Chains A and B, each alone.
Chain A
């Protein structure tokens, strides 16, 4: 694996009128990590960035004012859910998803593909699209690339995702190949269907499962298309980490450096740090916010299960070094006591977990800016795992391929 070359000069993206502009790009001299400054229709964005997931037009329990205060610059919305409730027509009337939920910064919407496969029992995939029964009213729905883009156009997100033929990463055989080629064809249909190319970006999604050859074919084809960015899809679905990181590395090796790379569904702290080193820029995951609602608070050395009795008389904040609103005012003991009785407990922990994720990415960016990212990785791993014997093997191996040797 060849290391990434030295820091690159600021570069222009594909075309000046595209609704995504890479204002600057700085690369880590050691690993493949990059620091990008992006300009989107609804504001600026620095990567690497973590995007909290606001599935149904809200981040569960958190007001947009609170998200702004935490420094969140981009949220994710789900086309599958919003397409059903409240539906694209209503959201159009509300001035798009931005207007409907009153979020003034950037939004990214996925295509609906993943939910169809993961949430819907009997989804039938054909060349036309995905046919399934709506869980809300039982009606038969056909989600085509055109339909998905139509909904996303109505949502008005800054970044839209193509509809891809999603196959679980635990599946192998001809189905994977079929899905990969189909995803390319659907990408072309999505590009053609975009009625708002001046205001809304479209990202392609690289498929190919865990097969290096298929991935490479997909990459070769998709990078020929005029899209603003690329996502690495079909991973983080329960496959072995050893296979996972290899596919990530393969992708970042061939993806153009001047466009952002979005690794879908990754959100665990260690995964984020390693995948930034492997050359990814954008991440999303429901994990931090979902786990908060189960009482789990994320900390630099792991997580605290605040529902456990051991915290009943623990009068420290979740993290003494954290300055989020929760840690500044509330103790673990209080959150433990509140947990069974009021939803406010969920919100306190959600706020903390989002702050944790955003602070992590901020620290990553800062260390790349200062040319100290490998040092940061070292400190991060030490804090998280204690000693080298505890470090996950896949992480050690993956990092070594980008010239970061952990001690």
Chain B
């Protein structure tokens, strides 16, 4: 058949594609219905070449009696990595990304976070101090903000940025912006985006962007995108423009990606824009889904100025439309409560910058995330830490057993404070520098820790807690010693990765409700 011959000459990988049957129809791996039942979306798994879409669409159109129209032909790229979803419970996804990386030998647990870096280094940490941390996640997060200025060096180096930064075995994800640095808006154009590096603004064209990716050789990278933070109530015109630009950039990136030998094992992530306008968000989703991307990045949710409910609703709407079999990343979300809300709304991967931001403020993460109640009856000492000075045991057990609403209604919190309960999570005084309290953390610059010889967090097994005390950290911070950043970073990372393990356990065991309650309780304590 003519069709079969055309097919054979197409530049696709046979093993991934069902060839046409003798009668001219296609046996496909997956069918997906869209609105009009008499039309079918044909999902071809295995295409790498975007032009094949129109070629194939023409082929299909020319075959008689096939009820397929070109506009419904969807393409999936040869995504080497696969998302295996073990379960979806109450909107929370649990599973693994497998066959990740250049060798296809790594896997990434979902939900999960990335290992945040600046210029390819976990802040303050060398390889040896990083090795002291348990549960370090697989994907290393690089940002163009912090590495773009070294593009020329990497081009000459030729061996890829992984080896350059001393992480030759790691999975690398490259995003545009650094979540811990401000990103002024108003600089993106139809042809360029700007990132803010150490030396100032760097303007990037599409070809420069792709040249960088080819020099860096990441395993995943986000497509170039117009993701400038837009103020709430930004004009529809501006929002629409960012969606259009991003799609244009995506097509441009894909074109070069597919011609690139160097990037053939890399995945490109499509970027969902759309500000706070639902229609634009959905449009961005639907259009991006048509392209052969390896996953999706939910962009534009970084800023704090979008109120929680609308933000979360938008996220839910976006993930509701996205295909289940591809990972969803979100930028800019790191606080424990926000992470849980996003996991419940179908987000898979988060940036890991929150521990760093807290470290820079001299804060240690101390929130509890062990939601399990020990059935053996061991005293549940976690909610109210080491109770050195507590007299009123009844008060404490009331606190431990009541829900948040009950505690508030019965004035438990204020009674605990008055009883002089020494644990800092409850009676966390503001630091003597007058800084505001931040939930989930303690401020180690606060004078109250000067002679506190306990570890940062009782029961924490990290290097810092096993070897050093709050008093020592207080001393290091007040004398501006570099070691403060090193030790805090070790503890905070260790803690945060433990939190994500707890999220995975909770999703798997359908205990997200308990975990959320535990976290919210601690957020409200401040």
Residue contact B482 to A341, C-beta cutoff 8 Å: no
Residue contact A333 to B164, C-beta cutoff 8 Å: yes
**Any A CB within 8 A of the CB of B387:** no
Measured in the bound complex, the distance between the Cα atoms of B132 and A353 in whole Å is 22
Partner of A351, one of B126, B471, B481: B126
Partner of A56, one of B165, B467, B469, B481: B481
Residue contact A63 to B471, C-beta cutoff 8 Å: no
Q: How far is the CB of A400 from chain B (nearest CB, A)?
A: 43
Interface segment, one of B117-125, B223-231, B237-245, B256-264: B117-125
Q: Which of A59-89 contact B (CB under 8 A)?
A: 59-66, 69, 81, 85-86
**Any A CB within 8 A of the CB of B127:** yes
Interface segment, one of B12-20, B150-158, B267-275, B330-338: B150-158
- Residues on A with C-beta less than 8 A from B124 are 61, 342-344, 347
Residue contact A94 to B471, C-beta cutoff 8 Å: yes
- Residues on A with C-beta less than 8 A from B478 are 85
Partner of B118, one of A60, A331, A341: A341
**Any A CB within 8 A of the CB of B62:** no
Partner of A93, one of B153, B451, B487: B451
**Any A CB within 8 A of the CB of B128:** yes
Most buried by A among B467, B468, B476, B486: B486
* Given A61-B482, A342-B119, residue A102 in contact with residue B166 (CB < 8 A): no
Residue contact A57 to B198, C-beta cutoff 8 Å: no
Residue contact A90 to B471, C-beta cutoff 8 Å: yes
Residue contact A69 to B128, C-beta cutoff 8 Å: yes
Q: How far is the CB of B463 from chain A (nearest CB, A)?
A: 7
- Residues on A with C-beta less than 8 A from B126 are 325-326, 344, 347-348, 351
Interface residues on A, range: 35 or more
* Given A85-B478, A93-B451, A313-B156, residue A102 in contact with residue B467 (CB < 8 A): yes
Measured in the bound complex, the distance between the Cα atoms of B472 and A64 in whole Å is 13
Tally A-B pairs: CB < 8 A.
116
Q: How many residues of B contact A (CB 8 A)?
A: 41
Residue contact A61 to B486, C-beta cutoff 8 Å: yes
* Given A85-B478, A337-B150, residue A347 in contact with residue B486 (CB < 8 A): yes
> 1/0 per residue A289-332: CB within 8 Å of B?
00000000000000000000000110100000000011001110
Most buried by A among B451, B481, B485: B481
**Any B CB within 8 A of the CB of A101:** yes
- Residues on B with C-beta less than 8 A from A65 are 132, 463, 467
**Any A CB within 8 A of the CB of B483:** yes
Q: Which residue of the partner chain A has the closest CB to B478?
A: A85
Q: Which residue of the partner chain A has the closest CB to B127?
A: A329
Q: Which residue of the partner chain A has the closest CB to B467?
A: A102
> 1/0 per residue B479-516: CB within 8 Å of A?
10111011100000000000000000000000000000
**Any A CB within 8 A of the CB of B291:** no
Measured in the bound complex, the distance between the Cα atoms of B469 and A340 in whole Å is 31
Q: How far is the CB of B107 from chain A (nearest CB, A)?
A: 24
Measured in the bound complex, the distance between the Cα atoms of B125 and A345 in whole Å is 9
Partner of B453, one of A94, A312, A325, A342: A94
Measured in the bound complex, the distance between the Cα atoms of B150 and A312 in whole Å is 9
Measured in the bound complex, the distance between the Cα atoms of B479 and A312 in whole Å is 33
- Residues on B with C-beta less than 8 A from A100 are 471-472, 475
**Any A CB within 8 A of the CB of B313:** no
> 1/0 per residue A249-288: CB within 8 Å of B?
0000000000000000000000000000000000000000
* Given A329-B166, A341-B198, residue A94 in contact with residue B469 (CB < 8 A): yes
> 1/0 per residue B101-138: CB within 8 Å of A?
00000000000000000111111111111001000000
**Any A CB within 8 A of the CB of B450:** yes
* Given A85-B478, A331-B164, residue A337 in contact with residue B119 (CB < 8 A): yes
* Given A329-B166, A337-B153, residue A101 in contact with residue B119 (CB < 8 A): no
Measured in the bound complex, the distance between the Cα atoms of B474 and A375 in whole Å is 49
**Any B CB within 8 A of the CB of A346:** yes
Residue contact B479 to A85, C-beta cutoff 8 Å: yes
Residue contact A338 to B120, C-beta cutoff 8 Å: yes
- Residues on B with C-beta less than 8 A from A199 are none
Q: How far is the CB of B6 from chain A (nearest CB, A)?
A: 48
Measured in the bound complex, the distance between the Cα atoms of B451 and A334 in whole Å is 40
Residue contact B482 to A344, C-beta cutoff 8 Å: no
Residue contact A86 to B450, C-beta cutoff 8 Å: yes
- Residues on A with C-beta less than 8 A from B146 are 341
**Any B CB within 8 A of the CB of A236:** no
Measured in the bound complex, the distance between the Cα atoms of B481 and A224 in whole Å is 41
Measured in the bound complex, the distance between the Cα atoms of B478 and A93 in whole Å is 19
**Any B CB within 8 A of the CB of A196:** no
Measured in the bound complex, the distance between the Cα atoms of B475 and A86 in whole Å is 6
Q: How far is the CB of A168 from chain B (nearest CB, A)?
A: 27
Q: How far is the CB of B14 from chain A (nearest CB, A)?
A: 41
Residue contact B166 to A330, C-beta cutoff 8 Å: yes
**Any B CB within 8 A of the CB of A58:** yes
Query: What are 21 contact pairs spanning A and B, CB under 8 A?
Result: A59-B483, A61-B124, A61-B481, A66-B128, A66-B129, A69-B128, A90-B471, A93-B451, A94-B453, A102-B468, A334-B120, A334-B165, A337-B119, A337-B150, A340-B198, A341-B146, A342-B121, A343-B123, A343-B482, A343-B485, A347-B125
Extra inter-chain contacts (19) besides given A100-B472, A102-B467, A340-B198, CB under 8 Å: A56-B481, A61-B124, A62-B483, A63-B132, A65-B463, A65-B467, A66-B129, A85-B479, A93-B451, A101-B472, A102-B468, A315-B157, A329-B166, A342-B118, A344-B122, A344-B123, A344-B124, A348-B126, A351-B126
State the 5 A-B residue pairs at the shortest beta-carbon distance, nearest first. Answer: A61-B482, A341-B119, A344-B121, A329-B166, A58-B483
Interface residues of A (CB under 8 A from B): 56-66, 69, 81, 85-86, 90, 93-94, 100-102, 312-313, 315, 325-326, 329-331, 333-334, 337-338, 340-348, 351
